[in-house]
Amino acid sequence: MSEQASLKPARKPESRIALVRRARRINRELAELYPYAHPELDFENPFQLLVATVLSAQTTDLRVNQTTPALFAAYPTPEDLAAAEPERLEELIRPTGFFRAKAKSLLGLSTALRDRYDGEVPGRLEDLVTLPGVGRKTANVVLGNAFGVPGITVDTHFGRLSRRFGWTTSEDPEKVEQEVGTLFPKSEWTMLSHRVVFHGRRTCHSRKPACGACPIAPLCPSYGEGETDPEKAKKLLKYELGGAPGQRLQPPSDYPGDPAPALGAPAATAPMTQGSE
């Protein structure tokens, strides 16, 4: 048995207070591991973040970031995008996949912003979820990162890690959001989301988590589901932890990795994991 395996918590019933303490300690450990955690979509304003998040469905944040510069150059405002020719819009967003359905959503939400909200992105969840193509996950991304309104963003990474950490057993995103939200102060929700997603993309992968290279291992009841050998696990780390570029073409100044390449640039070695689903 490895040294890390010996640190694995015993599988026994956990009291509510013990769960809360362990969950918050995991959050603190993740904050130390990823002090630079951030949304991995490039954006300059709420409208750009809203559009980018809609485009991120069933593709990578990298592909979205490589696509949106030309999109926002052509259609910088909701009014511009609402007036777009569908065929031209589809061609611009084709690299993100499902481009016809996404174009329909973008035209619909831009028209709604123009006609119902004076061309401004609303800052309330109940308004955002009325926009075409916008659900709770997208709304929470926009609220947390463009308006400073705390929210938990449950994508596949967040859901998977929440279950592995023992924070929830639910597969339903809304239930995950509700149950995990009770474990943390509301002020932590947005950054918690970034940290957990960062960890899911870099270390705690879906098919082969890098357990042997995970600082959270002593706190994780699922330790051992992946590679436990430290050297082999280290080779599974991705993005800046694996020495590869990140997903943003314009990452924050404190990001320790390299920026992603622009569309059409030589292929980078950054691994491709789905950013949103």
Measured CA distances, 172 to 28, 38, 180 (Å): 26, 24, 12
Find the angle CA(21)-CA(173)-CA(240) to the nearest 5 degrees.
70
Q: How far apart are CA 248 and CA 250, in angstroms?
A: 5
Tell me, yes or no, if 42 is annotated catalytic. Answer: no
| 13 annotated among ligand-binding-site residues | no
Measured CA distances, 88 to 22, 92, 131 (Å): 51, 6, 22
Q: How far apart are CA 137 and CA 158, in angstroms?
A: 11
Do 244 and 257 form a contact (C-beta atoms < 8 A)? yes
Do 53 and 151 form a contact (C-beta atoms < 8 A)? no
| 214 annotated among ligand-binding-site residues | yes
Provide the token pair at 86.
């569908």
State the distance between the two ends of the chain, measured CA to CA, in whole angstroms. Answer: 37
Tell me, yes or no, if 155 is annotated catalytic. Answer: yes
Rg of the Cα atoms in the chain: 19
- Find the catalytic residue in 8, 102, 155, 238: 155
- Find the catalytic residue in 137, 208, 238, 258: 137
Write down the residue that tokens 């995991």 correspond to: 26
Q: Residue count of the chain, please give it.
A: 277
Do 246 and 259 form a contact (C-beta atoms < 8 A)? yes
| 211 annotated among ligand-binding-site residues | yes
Q: Looking at this protein, which amino acid is placed at residue 38?
A: H
CA 49 to chain centroid, in Å, comes to 12
Q: Looking at this protein, which amino acid is placed at residue 99?
A: F
Helix (H, G, I), strand (E, B) or coil at 138: helix
| 116 annotated among ligand-binding-site residues | no
**Annotated binding-site members:** 204, 211, 214, 220
Residues annotated as catalytic (active site), given as ranges: 137, 155
Binding-site residues from annotation for [4Fe-4S] cluster: 204, 211, 214, 220
